[in-house]
Amino acid sequence: MDSKKIRVNEPTILVLFGATGDLAQRKIFPSLLDLYNKDLLPKKFKIVAFGRRDWSETQYREFVSSALNQSKVVDESRKIAFLDLITYEKGLFDDDAAFSALGKRLSFIDTDFNICTNKLFYLAVPPNLYELILSKLSKSGLSIPCGGEKGWTRILIEKPFGKNLEDAERIDRLLGKQFKEIQIFRIDHYLAKETLLNILAFRFSNSIFEPLWNRKYIESISIKMFESSLVGSRGAFYDGIGALRDIGQNHLLAMLSLVTMEHPKVFNSDNIRKERQRVLKRLVIPGRNEIRKIIRGQYEGFKESQGVSADSDTETFFRLTTSIKGSRWSGVPIELTAGKGVGTTKTEITIEFKDVKTFFHDIKTNKNKLIFRVQPDEGISVMFWVKTPGFESFKVHSEKLSFNYSDSDITKIVPEAYERVLFDCIRGDQTLFATTGEVEAQWRFINPILKNWKTSEMKIYRSGTNPEEII
């Protein structure tokens, strides 16, 4: 379907908290510009950036402009028109007066548009600031919609959703006081990645794989997210968080849920979300013995990074194995590995099938594999066996069938995950956003690990190490 047909064209203001942060520069503004270029933003649209730096609007626009130049090739005239949508409101998150000035700014835009606009509050800030901003939104009355159906307010909230289960529950209670569930959009941009959404299409529309999608035929599942980049300027944020919270609790478990969820009875938003949630609730919570086996690592030099404490024991790498209760998956090991500062950058999901009882050689050690290449080199490969030509009748070797996004023109229409997040939030489609139940199940799984693994040894690895060798 033409995406312009599903665009919601109601006057909307996006209020961005965390306006000078890394996420705003790397993902949010480039994605908004892409939506703007594709004509997918409402015709009447404004971005109000709320930040503490003592900048004028012109200075802030210059800041956004240079962030856009760094992240992509941009058409200058389109960029200038886009920058015109942005205004800057200086203020501190704990300052009531700043929130009332923000309110005035929003009313001013409403008057200018001559309508009660939709307001989207985007919390692109570290989780320790959620409570403060939410309480100020409540106190200032900004979260209250100025209209009924039209003139809504919604909240977009980044991951990690809190620092642990208790935190997440508290934030959810606070959110629940001001917003109904249909107004709350909990972001995990991995749920919105095209290559991950394709897993559902691939699984549920191919009869050659779906019947095999269970413990009878699948030996193991492995989900890997490797990044060669270091923490860079995000040291202060990352040091208090670590790899398990930063991407384990959310991205890795989101990938797991897409690979292992049941086919929803009806393929709609509610049911897809329910099935993701249901499978996460069946994760086997690790006990002390399993936790002891989890590998945690830190790359050499992490402690010297800007913003990181000199005696930090925050992990930049982890490897753990889990499984899912129930008749489909019980006993199938699922390995989750992730790390920064390793020798490769790739996100990949591998499904390894059981070996067949056969007289052909070599199969026992190299089983059939199905690999979803999430990024880079996006695509899907199947590893299978063929006879090796020649006089030996029973000799086989492995070959690969591959689908590569880059081989066709479709790459041009693949939206960036954050484009999808912003577009879906504006049009009110919650399918690709985590439910409160999903977040709770994720924390129930992660919490005991966080509480108990500090006693286990931290493996220090050189940056650039082959991640498979961190064991």
Q: Choose which of 10, 246, 352, 440 interacts with ligand BG6 (CB under 6 A).
A: 246
Q: Choose which of 227, 275, 352, 424 interacts with ligand BG6 (CB under 6 A).
A: 227
The phi-psi region of residue 173 (left if phi > 0; otherwise alpha if psi is between -120 and 50; otherwise beta) is alpha
Ranges within 329-388 binding ligand BG6 (CB under 6 A):
none
Q: How far is the CB of 302 from ligand BG6 (least distance, A)?
A: 13
Instruction: Report yes or no: 222 and 316 within 8 Å, Cβ to Cβ.
Output: no
Q: Which of 304, 311, 139 is nearest to 230 (CA)?
A: 304
Instruction: Report yes or no: 264 and 281 within 8 Å, Cβ to Cβ.
Output: no
- Read off the tokens for 12: 């909307």
Strand order in the sheet with 218-227: 396-404, 379-387, 369-375, 346-353, 218-227, 334-340, 317-322, 295-299, 458-461
Q: How far is the CB of 246 from ligand BG6 (least distance, A)?
A: 5
**Contact mark string toward ligand BG6, 400..439, x via CB under 6 A:** -----------------x----------------------
Q: How far is the CB of 377 from ligand BG6 (least distance, A)?
A: 13
Nearer to ligand BG6, 15 or 247 (CB): 247
Nearer to ligand BG6, 141 or 232 (CB): 232
Q: How far is the CB of 93 from ligand BG6 (least distance, A)?
A: 20
Nearer to ligand BG6, 90 or 189 (CB): 189
Nearer to ligand BG6, 227 or 424 (CB): 227
Q: How far is the CB of 164 from ligand BG6 (least distance, A)?
A: 17
Residue nearest to ligand BG6 (CB): 246
Nearer to ligand BG6, 61 or 189 (CB): 189
Nearer to ligand BG6, 10 or 227 (CB): 227
Is 251 among the residues known to form the active site?
yes
Q: Which of 385, 401, 350 is nearest to 371 (CA)?
A: 350
Instruction: Report yes or no: 103 and 62 within 8 Å, Cβ to Cβ.
Output: no
Coil/strand/helix, residue 253? helix
Q: How far is the CB of 191 from ligand BG6 (least distance, A)?
A: 11
Catalytic residue among 251, 263, 361, 397: 251
Q: Choose which of 67, 184, 221, 247 interacts with ligand BG6 (CB under 6 A).
A: 247
Instruction: Decide: is 449 part of the binding site for ligand BG6 (CB under 6 A).
Output: no
| Cis, bond preceding 30 (omega within 30 deg of 0) | no
φ, ψ at 75 (rounded to 5°) = -80, 115
Q: Which of 349, 421, 352, 5 is nearest to 196 (CA)?
A: 349
Strands 334-340 and 218-227: parallel
Residue owning tokens 């050499």: 300
User: Residues with catalytic annotation?
Assistant: 251
Binding site for ligand BG6 (CB under 6 A): 227, 246-247, 417
